[in-house]
Amino acid sequence: MRMDDERESRNIDDRRESTGKGGGMPSMQTMMILWPIVRPLLKSKFGLLIIGVGVAAYMMGYNPLSLIGMGGTSSAPLTKTQKVKDEKRKVFIAKVLKSTEDVWTAVLPKYGIRYTEPTMVLYRGYTRSGCGAAQSQMGPFYCPVDKKVYLDLGFFDELAKRHNAPGDFAQAYVLAHEIGHYIQDLQGTLDKVQKAKQSWGGNSKKSNALQVRVELQADCYAGVWGHYAQKRFNMLEPGDIEEALNAASSIGDDTLQKKAGQKVRPDGFTHGSSAQRVKWFKRGFVSGDLRQCNTFR
């Protein structure tokens, strides 16, 4: 994927140096929550030792709160080599974000929608979002409350190693999918979906089926972005489309269920099958038309 000469987006909230590690004081709310746990430890030498180890780990850059399910994933400081790799990824994904801004600013007015640029939050391990805690194991996501996309760049290692979906265009597809959710938000789709789910009173099967349609439409929108980005930037290289299709296939619900040793259960799908995700991305990429992305019919 050729992005060397492209510009980087400025709509980035880079929290990588302030998340996924310690080094600062916990909030008062966190201290109040921890007090019932800490108080009995103060009564014994062993308890004081545990507190001392926890404080030392926190100051060294680890997150001991994650051991009791608080504060996200424990994250050791990156090595110099890892930091260089992480920074290259940041530059690349910032250029991809800029390409989404350029494409959708030009394309959406044709559909009567004015595009305002969202913010992408880069973090490491964990951070806070308008939708609650953001943790690396959650994967990238869009939060409609604060209109931001959250991304731990370490997810791309998981995409390549755990899901066997390496490649720069696979990474670009992931971001384009989340921006697709932002477009759904601009269209009012996410609000309608949320109201429908609430009206069903917790019917998980119906809610899951509706969420699948949301995710497949975001895949289709990612394809539409790819269609126009190629025309505008001539960015694609041999094998790029295959990378995106492989990524879409690798994170299909049926594939993930099989990898987890589970029986494939369509009623448990929340993102769609591998075949569905590939189909809708291709539909958007080939047509370049948002009207072809109506997954709610």
The model carries a pTM of 0.81
Asked if 251 contacts 271 with a C-beta cutoff of 8 angstroms, the reply is: yes
pLDDT tens digits for range 122-152: 999 989 999 998 988 889 999 999 999 999 9
Q: Give residue for tokens 């994904």.
A: 93
pLDDT, position 174:
96
SS3 content of the chain, % helix, strand, coil (to 5): 60, 10, 30
Percent of the chain predicted with pLDDT > 90: 70
Q: Helix or strand or coil: residue 194? A: helix
Per the model's pLDDT, the better-predicted residue between 33 and 160 turns out to be 160
pLDDT, position 38:
62
**20 confidence band (pLDDT: 50, 70, 90):** low
pLDDT tens digits for range 88-112: 999 999 999 999 999 999 999 999 9
pLDDT, position 29:
41
Per the model's pLDDT, the better-predicted residue between 116 and 136 turns out to be 116
pLDDT at 23 over 50: no
Residues β-bridged to residue 14: 122
Taking the C-alpha atoms of residue 294 and residue 236, their distance in angstroms, rounded to an integer, is 26
Total residue count of the chain as it appears in this document: 297
Question: Rounded mean pLDDT of 172-198?
Answer: 97
pLDDT, position 55:
65
pLDDT tens digits for range 47-89: 677 777 766 654 544 455 444 444 444 456 778 888 899 999 9
Return the domain boundaries, the chain.
28-60, 78-293
Alpha-helical regions (H) of 188-288: 189-199, 204-233, 240-250, 253-259, 274-287
pLDDT, position 76:
62
